[in-house]
A and B are shown apart, each in its own frame.
Chain A
Amino acid sequence: MIAFIEYSDIFGKLDLNAFKHDAIEASVGISIILISIALVFFLTYKKLWVWLWRDWLTSLDHKKIGVMYLIVSAAMLFKGFVDAAMMRAQQAFSVGDSFGYLGAPHFQQIFTAHGTTMIFFVAMGMVFGLINILLPLQIGARDVAFPFLNNLSFWFFAVGAALLIVSLMIGNYAGTGWVSYPPLSGIKYSPGVGVDYWLWGIQIAGVGTLLSGVNFLVTIFKMRCPGMTLMKMPLFVWSVLNSLVLIVFAFPILTATLAMLSLDRMMGMHFFTSDFGGYPMMYVNLIWAWGHPEVYILVLPAFGIFSEVVATFSGKKLFGYTSMVWAMVAITFLSFIVWLHHFFTMGAGPKVNAFFGIMTMIIAVPTGVKVFNWLFTMFKGRVQFKTPMLWFLGFVIIFTIGGMDGVLMAIAPVDFQVHNSLFLVAHFHSMVIGGVLFGILAGFTYWFPKIFGFKLNEKYGGYAAFCWIFGFLFAFIPLYILGLMGATRRLNHYEAATGWQPLFIVAAIGVCIIAVGVFFQIVQLIVSIKEKDQNMDTTGDPWNGRTLEWSTTSPAPFYNFATIPEVSERDPFWTMKHHKQEAKYVEIHMPKNSPHGVFIGALSFTFSFGLIWNMWWLAIVSLIGMIVCLMIRLFDRDTEYAISPQEVEKFELANKHLN
């Protein structure tokens, strides 16, 4: 019997060649392995495994899950940033006779990995990290609607990131760009495992996102504290609500599109091939029908964060709340009817191009309204320029520039001249770094005391913000000019006669300035932890906040609120501060830990790995395992535990004592 089993039945396409890499790839792989070994050694030496398993990995506490999202995203941000620096270094020197230090395939894998990492595993991860931690606190809930699902979503996200990292060491990654258009991403032109790593990494992470989307949407609709009507929700919750609606509508498109591309690749089907009736243009439409809402999924929560930050640090009510809400609803709606602006150059007729162009430009109106409302929130306020406000100012400048050239590119004939050029690259980095990342960093600094119980160092935070803002301008203004000079994106080499090199060098200097900013952020974190005792937030309300999350202690207890708050107006905590209520404790039910999220996540990893390398037995066994784990969890009736009023009182008194 054994004799009939061939090598490929067990290992599929996996052989020793998958482990062969050039010096640069190998050194990255080896350093990842060394870091992992060091981490394992550290955890074993400090006997932290049980703590890690019990308090974190299996926890269903939304705040802990949020922190895990943030940690994974921060690690991925570092990776994505190194990718970016490598690209800039290559393009600064790969001119004329010199071909730089990266081969074309390696360079192409780097920009694909950079885009995928930054969108799926950094921006999405950080947004979901903050949503997880803050959303239940802001609506006065003790947890999310489906705590286990939340944990499972995190593990799907982490597995997606892990697949990307594993591709550095076993096999290679896609070199097709982060949206991987067929036919290039089809089996004919990309026969290796790279595209499969890309596909399964974001497929798994995408399913996690969709589940999270459903989970938080239900949380917002069903778990708001008494009195909090929709129009009394904090703006961050409103922004997240819009973003979740987008997720629920857009992510199924991604899942289906990726599934069809997988079928093309694995089963020899012809959804998106050039021949046999396949239709690559359909893929381009579908991926952007998801892809355009996706950028709003990321940027809307950032808008929400800025709304909270600006109101708090101006010591003033948010200007034009109703306007802000309707502006976001308008953006949400419009974001579904603009996807064609990603490919005006595909040959649609002038009426189609004009329609999608005009719809795109209309989005500028509600977005502009939001900027004006933020500015007028500061107007006649008392503005404190703490670090989050510095991020906000950087955001206004960079995002406005990005928005302006976004409108430019919405005009199809202008787009013909800048499409796929570095002008476009500079545009979307203005939106994603200036908008999303600055928003997240502002939110992170703002809510840090709520998460960890102490404030971040202001001095180094300020340095970091300045380095990021000016580094960004140095790194991306040259790209705008380069784009107008005819430099296209994704070039690993260009001729000396183009005269592009000086600007590429300026851009590389910009990346160095940003790197100094990243360095200051690390210093900020270390210094803040060291000086923790001086920066302790004992009141639970370090910034004179306005919303419910500041009404509980910092860090928030695992049950969030000893008594569920009742609200009667916007900015409830602002008014609540002035008349204290008498606390009355009741029994609280909280979800128990569950290891099944970890198990299903791990099995989804082996499932994907099996499919990527054609180890069919592994995929089948993993799939069965996932279903079994899910069944065990679903039939488990004993998923909650109760905390008696006496215990709650004890916890609360301990926290008071802390105060």
Chain B
Amino acid sequence: MDKHLRYAFYFLIVFGIAAIGLLYFYSNGVAVLNPKGMIGAKERDLLLLCTWTMLLVVIPVFLMTFFIAWKYRESNKNAEYKPDWAHNTLAEIIWWGFPLIIIVVLSVLTWNSCHELDPFKPIESNKKALRIQAVALQWKWLFIYPDQRIATVNYMQIPIDRPIDFEITADAPMNSFWIPELGGQVYAMAGMRSKLHLIADQRGSFRGCSSNISGKGFAGMSFMTHAGTEEEFEQWVSSSTGSMSLSYDEYDELVKPSEYVPPATYSLGESGLFDWIIMKYMKPMPETKRMAHDSVH
């Protein structure tokens, strides 16, 4: 078996190089490692920093594993054999202590980063944030721009360098709203208002999706986020205002289950649509939707 062990060692080295090579080869396509926004970039930096820190322990473990396994193999009669040696206080202090120090460092990082990158925390900027309300439906995303009075399905147009304030809910089973190139995700839940703050630094089209299983058409819930300049955004807004109006009746049609829905644009008929979608789950008793609507306004 010693021969096997040596082969295993070679194989592992080759495999490690191959894995790193693959990572390099794909590095431009790896969204989380190549973010296009400040939040995503901070999350990436955190991920890498913690990985390097942990490698301080992990690499010695790997080396020790192979060194010890090789040196104290049965056929190596030159190696020392101490069958009853089973305790060494200093050694144990080292391997309780050293990982503990690393974990303490990581804990401080965790505490600080949890506060800094809290998805509910607004991004500080001298520009006024753009409000977008995202609703997970069966099986598409509805994006409402309340200030622009526009709604879109399965795509978003956003300006770069301007914070985006997302409010997120669902009129469907639980989903999770995630645009990897811009930053982390938050769940979309019926009757709940989640918040997420993201920003894009570069122009481009970024894939977004739902990451939580929500039924049959779940795989088709991906959408594109087009980040452009402020002018491009204004242009898009003015070209969209003439679109079909999203009334409650139209919403009723939209909310019906459908799969792989192509992108669409609406002008927003009802200003309180998002709040109404949340509130309709909050009633103690069933009501028709008109009554619910009237009680909101």
Considering only CB atoms, which chain B residue lies closest to A318 in the complex? B86
Q: How far is B284's CA from A377's CA once the two chains are assembled, in angstroms?
A: 63
Q: Check if A397 is an interface residue, CB within 8 A of chain B.
A: yes
Partner of B61, one of A350, A385, A396: A396
Q: With A397-B65, A400-B61, A484-B30 in contact, is A411–B186 under 8 Å at CB?
A: no
Q: Counting CB contacts under 8 A, is B133 at the interface? A: no
If A382-B72, A384-B74 touch, whether A417 touches B23 (CB-CB below 8 Å) is no
Q: Cβ of A393 < 8 Å from any Cβ of B?
A: yes
- Known interface pairs A184-B213, A189-B173, A347-B120; A365-B103 also in contact (CB < 8 Å): yes
Please, which residues of chain B bring their CB within 8 A of the CB of A383? 69, 72-74
**For residue B84, which residue of chain A has the nearest CB?**
A317
Partner of B118, one of A350, A357, A389: A350
When A361-B107, A383-B69, A407-B106 are in contact, do A488 and B174 touch as well, CB less than 8 Å? no
The stretch from B7-15, B154-162, B234-242 touching chain A is B7-15
Contacts of A410 in B (CB 8 A): 110
Chain A residues numbered 377-416 whose CB sits less than 8 Å from any CB in chain B: 377-386, 389-390, 393, 396-397, 400-401, 404, 407-408, 410-416
**Quick check: which of B91-99, B143-151, B247-255, B266-274 contacts chain A, the rest being far away?**
B91-99
**Nearest B residue to A477, CB-CB:** B19
B46, B86, B178, B216 pick with most chain A CB within 10 angstroms: B86
Closest to B1 in A: A385
Contacting pair B284 A276 (CB below 8 A):
yes
A280, B174: Cβ atoms closer than 8 Å: yes
Please report the C-alpha to C-alpha distance between residue A393 and residue B103 in the assembled complex, in whole angstroms: 25
Contact string, B163-195, partner A, CB cutoff 8 A, digits 1/0? 000000000111010101101111101111011
Judged by a CB distance under 8 angstroms, whether B17 is at the interface is no
A288 CB-CB contact with B under 8 Å:
no
B284 touches A277 (CB 8 A): yes
A372 B46 Cβ-Cβ under 8 A: no
Closest partner residue, chain A, to B259 (CB atom) = A104
Query: How close is A615's CB to chain B, nearest CB, in angstroms?
Result: 27
A416 engages B43 (CB within 8 Å): yes
Task: Select B85's contact among A345, A380, A407, beta carbons within 8 Å.
Answer: A380
Interface stretch (choices B51-59, B123-131, B225-233): B51-59
- From A321, A373, A382, A470, contact of B15 by CB (8 A): A470
Answer yes or no: A633 CB below 8 A from chain B CBs: no
Give 1 or 0 for each of B102-129: 1 = CB within 8 Å of chain A CB: 0100110111011111111100000000
CB distance from A135 to the nearest CB of B (A): 23
Residue ID in chain A nearest B111 by CB atoms:
A354
Q: Does B87 contact A (CB under 8 A)?
A: yes
Q: A353-B114, A493-B219 are in contact. Are A411 and B184 (CB under 8 A)?
A: no
What chain B residues lie within 8 Å of A559 (beta carbons)? Answer: none
Q: Please, how many angstroms separate the alpha-carbon atoms of A396 and B61 in the complex?
A: 9
Tell yes or no: A595 within 8 A of B by CB: no
| A320: interface (CB < 8 Å) | yes
Is the Cβ of B96 less than 8 Å from the Cβ of A369? yes
Task: Decide: A381 and B31 in contact? CB cutoff 8 A.
Answer: no
Report if A382-B81 is in contact (Cβ < 8 Å); known contacts: A362-B103, A481-B23, A492-B219: yes
Query: B residues within 8 A CB of A379?
Result: 68, 72
A381 to B79, CA, bound (A): 8
Q: Is the CB of B190 within 8 A of A274?
A: yes
> Are B283 and A275 touching (Cβ within 8 A)?
yes
* Segment of A53-61, A175-183, A246-254, A428-436 in the binding face: A175-183
A378 touches B72 (CB 8 A): yes
Chain A contacts of B29 at CB under 8 A? Answer: 485, 499
Contact indicator B50/A408 (Cβ below 8 Å) = yes
Whether the Cβ atoms of B2 and A385 lie closer than 8 Å is yes
Q: In whole angstroms, how far apart are the Cα atoms of A408 and B209 in the complex?
A: 22
Contact A417/B40 with A275-B281, A381-B81, A383-B74 known, Cβ cut-off 8 Å: yes
Q: A417, B11: Cβ atoms under 8 Å?
A: no
Chain B, 19-59, contact with A by CB distance < 8 Å: what is the 0/1 string? 10011001001111100000010111011001100110110
Chain B interface, number of residues (Cβ within 8 angstroms): 107
A177 CA / B173 CA spacing, docked (Å): 13
Question: Beta-carbon contacts of A619-633 to B below 8 Å, as 1s and 0s?
Answer: 000000000000000
Q: Is B264 an interface residue (CB 8 A)?
A: no
Given A319-B87, A385-B73, A419-B176, A462:B79 Cβ within 8 A: no
- Residues of A contacting B: mostly: helix
When A380-B80, A385-B5, A404-B51 are in contact, do A104 and B216 touch as well, CB less than 8 Å? yes
The answer to the question of B265 belonging to the interface, with a C-beta cut-off of 8 Å to chain A, is no
- The residue of chain A having its C-beta at the shortest distance from the C-beta of B120 within the complex is A347
Name, among A177, A353, A413, A421, the residue most crowded by chain B CB atoms within 10 Å (CB to CB).
Answer: A413
Given contacts A385-B4, A420-B211, contact A183 B19 (CB under 8 A): no
Do B114 and A357 touch (CB < 8 A)?
Answer: yes
The smallest beta-carbon distance between A138 and chain B, in angstroms, is 19
Chain A positions within 8 Å of B11 at CB level: 470
Cβ-defined partner of A390 (8 Å) among B1, B91, B172: B1
B-chain residues with CB within 8 Å of residue A319 when the two chains form the complex: 85-87
Contact of A358 among B74, B96, B107 (CB under 8 A): B107
Interface string of A473-493 (1 = CB under 8 A from B): 100011001011110111111
CA distance A303 to B26 in the complex (A): 36
Q: Are A411 and B62 in contact (CB under 8 A)?
A: no
Interface residues of A in 61-119 (CB under 8 A from B): 104-105, 108
- Whether A274 contacts B189 by the Cβ 8 Å rule is yes
Asked whether A498 is an interface residue with its Cβ less than 8 Å from the other chain, the reply is: yes
Residue contact A481 to B30, C-beta cutoff 8 Å: yes
Given A368-B57, A420-B211: A413 and B117 within 8 A (CB)? yes
A317 pairs with B85, CB closer than 8 A: yes
CB <8 Å contact, A369 and B99: yes
- A419: contacting residue among B85, B211, B217, B220, CB under 8 A: B211
Which residues from B are CB-within-8-Å of A414?
43, 46-47, 50
Q: Contacts A354-B111, A397-B12: A375 and B65 contacting too (C-beta < 8 A)?
A: yes
Indicate whether A333 reaches chain B with its CB closer than 8 angstroms.
no
The reply to whether B15 and A386 contact each other, CB–CB distance below 8 Å, is no
Query: Are A407 and B185 in contact, with the CB atoms below 8 A?
Result: no
Cβ contacts under 8 Å, B64 to chain A: 375
Q: Are B174 and A184 in contact (CB under 8 A)?
A: yes
- In contact, B194 and A347 (Cβ under 8 angstroms): yes
Q: Chain A nearest CB: distance from B214 CB in Å?
A: 6
Tell me the minimal C-beta distance from B80 to chain A in angstroms. Answer: 5
User: Whole-angstrom distance from the CB of A507 to the nearest CB of chain B?
Assistant: 12
CA distance A321 to B87 in the complex (A): 8
* Distance between Cα atoms of A318 and B103 in the complex (Å): 26
Instruction: Confirm or deny: B293 has a beta carbon within 8 angstroms of a beta carbon on chain A.
Output: no
Asked if A345 meets B216 with Cβ closer than 8 Å, knowing A275-B191, A362-B103, the reply is no
Smallest distance from the beta carbon of A488 to chain B beta carbons, Å? 4
* Least distance between B29 CB and chain A CB atoms (Å): 5
In the complex, which residue of chain A has the Cβ closest to the Cβ of B207?
A: A486
Say whether A28 faces chain B, with CB atoms less than 8 Å apart.
Answer: no
Partner of A381, one of B83, B116, B173: B83
Given A105-B216, A276-B284, A481-B22, A343 and B46 touching (CB < 8 A)? Answer: no
Partner of A317, one of B51, B83, B183: B83
Give 12 A-B contacts (CB < 8 Å), ordered by A residue.
A181-B173, A181-B174, A275-B286, A323-B92, A345-B186, A350-B114, A358-B111, A372-B91, A383-B72, A385-B69, A393-B65, A481-B26
- Can you add 4 more A-B contacts, CB < 8 Å, to A275-B190, A372-B95, A404-B51? A275-B281, A314-B72, A321-B86, A486-B180
Closest 10 CB pairs of A and B: A416-B184, A385-B1, A184-B173, A486-B180, A420-B211, A413-B117, A274-B190, A317-B86, A354-B114, A372-B95
